[in-house]
Amino acid sequence: MGMTGTIRIIGIDPGLRRTGWGIIETLGNSLKFVASGTVTSDGDMDLASRLCQLHDGLAEVVHAYQPHEAAVEQTFVNKDAVATLKLGQARGVVMLVPARAGLPVAEYAPNAVKKSVIGVGHGEKQQIHMMLKILMPKAEFKGNDAADALAIAICHAHNRGGQRMRAALAG
């Protein structure tokens, strides 16, 4: 697939309870909303079963929408070790799904995502919601997880050219 065509990107906001996903298309400087949603896991089930639910739910999304590239937020929880470990396991599963489907997976720090969408490296959820509507008037999202996922996809759309360049220079 050449650099000339439309690129479909899935942005993913990992979480054990809720993993948000958002799909956009980018052509040149234009952004088009495709879909968004949330994959949830059942809190009453054991960890392995919950990771399986995240895997299967996200795999369905990737299969249904056939994105070309994936972008995942680099989330770090420092509140307590157990929460951090669970999030890390969820992130592992979430990164595995697009990687298994043959997609390149980019990672972005939360402040990079905010900077890309709002223009500054810090900001409230409401600011992200507002900017999504400005950048993609047709965008639909229920909740912060799906909104964050769309923001991650937009961040990747803005940065992917530079990443290609850096990879080419490094190689």
Catalytic site positions = 13, 73, 145
Run of H or E residues at 71: strand 69-73
Sign of the four-CA dihedral 111, 112, 113, 118: positive
**CB of 11 closer than 8 Å to CB of 108:** no
Structure tokens at 18: 């809720």
- Cα angle at 10 between 85 and 126, to 5 degrees? 75
Sign of the four-CA dihedral 96, 98, 70, 165: positive
Residue found by looking up tokens 């995502």 in the block: 113
